[in-house]
A and B are shown apart, each in its own frame.
Chain A
Amino acid sequence: KAIFKDDISQETFQKIKEEIASYG
């Protein structure tokens, strides 16, 4: 597993947004 990504796609960013929103 890559421990950090140098870049993220728009699609991935949307998933991250949803992931973060789940903590709210």
Chain B
Amino acid sequence: DIAKAIIDLAVYGKSQNRSYDRLGLLVDTVGPRLSGSKNLENAIQIMYQNLQQNGLENVHLEPVKIPHWERGEESAMMLVPRVHKMAILGLGSSIGTPPEGIMAEALVVTSFDELRRKAPEARGKIVVYNQPYISYPVTVQYRVRGAVEAAKVGAVASLIRSVASFSIYSPHTGFQEYQDGVPKIPTACITVEDAEMIARMASRGNRIVIHLKMDAKNYPDTSSFNTVAEITGSKYPEQVVLVSGHLDSWDVGQGAMDDGGGAFISWEALSLIKDLGLRPKRTVRLVLWTAEEQGGIGASQYFQLHKVNSSNYSLVMESDSGTFLPTGIQFSGSEKARAIMKEVMSLLKPLNITQVFSGTEGTDINFWIQAGVPGASLCDDLSTYFAFHHSHGDTMTVMDPKKMNIAAAVWAVVSYVVADMEEMLPRT
């Protein structure tokens, strides 16, 4: 009755709400945890102590070099056709403006195609993207590539409609990438409301002038750590089931949802296994990644360091899409491994969470999946996730302890059973 014991302890027993309470303590104490910030390093040190005090094994920090970007003060003011202070959030890795800012006319587009059609009008202007929200993977391209595409046609800055499924005038930040050979221009996200208003104004033939000021600065890479803890396997200790979430966040809100919840249900999985006195045949390894938001920097360096042992990894798991009510897991691997995972998920019938979907989500575990290691991510109710993602609204207020209990139970049952089965998951 091991699966039932895990579920009972996590959802109904003395461990219920523990991951929520632990997360609240960390994020209320430390705040958001941007790559390169003192907050992130404080969080890593606190987690190192927490994992040791929890009695987990082989608790250690693995050094990583990570980007250091700071946003500084920033503002955007529409001056024409009327004065209007706009809420903005500069995008990670963006350069700043000159100290006096950039004042320029706006060119509004709804797509990259429209930008290319209007290329002759773009020189010297601030490109405002008012792209519709289709889905995160589709629409995020405007945040990531918006500055580069605008700079290619001679724009002096870009302002991008936040990649958000719902808005109450909330700007959403995130990472953006420059391209070699293309001038770097300042870039920030504006609210859905302002993007739509500016687009309406432009469609009426209004001339729009915006004054943008950003103090953003990029600094040399800095030292950080992936945080690791284990329950060592009893029979095949060199073989691993990796359970993970990322400890860093953006510098707004508390990073409670992205990805505090994922990191803390991963820790909770090991705590639950330990509380029940269980020791699986192979090692369950917790990794709390650093600098995921900058493109899986900590995970990339972990993979480079450990890929020589990839044949010893039975399953890599990551929760980085919220810890709301789970519906199942997403799985990447062979059909035979998928059939086994369906059997594993059938153990979660008491919670009615048994589905195995395709297409694992997880920047940090993709390196392993590409190398042929089976991967799994938590699949949950995403209906509100992208309303809060990368915004000031990502706080403990959006978290639900009961849903975290259930997510932790799913995570613990899957990781324990796969780690304890006699054979590793088949790969081809």
Q: CB within 8 Å of B: which residues of A?
A: 3-8, 13, 16-17, 19-21, 23-24
Which residue in B349, B417, B424, B425 is a CB contact (below 8 Å) of A23?
B417
Cβ B421 vs Cβ A20 within 8 A: yes
- Tell me, in angstroms, the Cα distance from A18 to B399 when the chains sit together: 37
- Tell me, in angstroms, the Cα distance from A9 to B344 when the chains sit together: 18
Query: Given contacts A23-B2, A23-B3, are A3 and B312 in contact (CB under 8 A)?
Result: yes
Q: Is the interface of A mostly helix, strand, loop or mixed?
A: loop
Cβ B343 vs Cβ A3 within 8 A: no
Subset of 16 A-B contacts with CB under 8 Å: A4-B311, A4-B425, A5-B424, A5-B426, A6-B427, A8-B426, A13-B340, A16-B343, A16-B421, A17-B343, A19-B421, A19-B422, A20-B344, A20-B421, A21-B346, A24-B347
Chain B residue contacts of A20, Cβ below 8 A = 340, 343-344, 346-347, 417, 421
- Tell me, in angstroms, the Cα distance from A17 to B344 when the chains sit together: 8
Cβ B428 vs Cβ A16 within 8 A: no
Chain B residue contacts of A3, Cβ below 8 A = 236, 239, 311-312, 424
**What 1/0 flags go to B308-346 for Cβ under 8 Å of A?**
000110100000000000000000000010011001101
- Tell me, in angstroms, the Cα distance from A7 to B314 when the chains sit together: 14
Query: Given contacts A4-B423, A16-B423, are A21 and B343 in contact (CB under 8 A)?
Result: yes
* B4 CB–A CB distance under 8 Å: yes
- Tell me, in angstroms, the Cα distance from A19 to B426 when the chains sit together: 15
- Chain A residue nearest to B239 (CB atoms) is A3
- Tell me, in angstroms, the Cα distance from A11 to B421 when the chains sit together: 16
Chain A residue contacts of B346, Cβ below 8 A = 20-21, 24
- Tell me, in angstroms, the Cα distance from A21 to B85 when the chains sit together: 61
Cβ B423 vs Cβ A5 within 8 A: yes
- Tell me, in angstroms, the Cα distance from A19 to B247 when the chains sit together: 35
Residues in B404-428 with C-beta less than 8 Å from chain A: 413, 416-417, 420-428
- Tell me, in angstroms, the Cα distance from A4 to B428 when the chains sit together: 10
Chain A residue contacts of B312, Cβ below 8 A = 3
- Tell me, in angstroms, the Cα distance from A16 to B350 when the chains sit together: 21
- Chain B residue nearest to A20 (CB atoms) is B343
Residues in B1-37 with C-beta less than 8 Å from chain A: 1-4
Question: In whole Å, how far is B8's beta carbon from the nearest beta carbon of chain A?
Answer: 13
- Tell me, in angstroms, the Cα distance from A3 to B427 when the chains sit together: 11
Chain A residue contacts of B236, Cβ below 8 A = 3
- Tell me, in angstroms, the Cα distance from A19 to B349 when the chains sit together: 17
Cβ A4 vs Cβ B3 within 8 A: no
Q: Which of B346, B416, B426 has the most CB of A within 10 A?
A: B426
Cβ A24 vs Cβ B426 within 8 A: no
- Tell me, in angstroms, the Cα distance from A16 to B343 when the chains sit together: 9
Cβ A24 vs Cβ B339 within 8 A: no
Chain B residue contacts of A5, Cβ below 8 A = 423-424, 426
Which residue in A6, A19, A21, A24 is a CB contact (below 8 Å) of B428?
A6
Chain A residue contacts of B426, Cβ below 8 A = 4-8
- Tell me, in angstroms, the Cα distance from A8 to B4 when the chains sit together: 28
A7-B336, A7-B426, A13-B340 given; 20 more Cβ-contact pairs under 8 Å: A4-B423, A4-B424, A4-B425, A5-B423, A6-B426, A6-B428, A13-B339, A16-B340, A20-B340, A20-B346, A20-B421, A21-B343, A21-B346, A23-B3, A23-B347, A23-B416, A24-B4, A24-B346, A24-B347, A24-B349
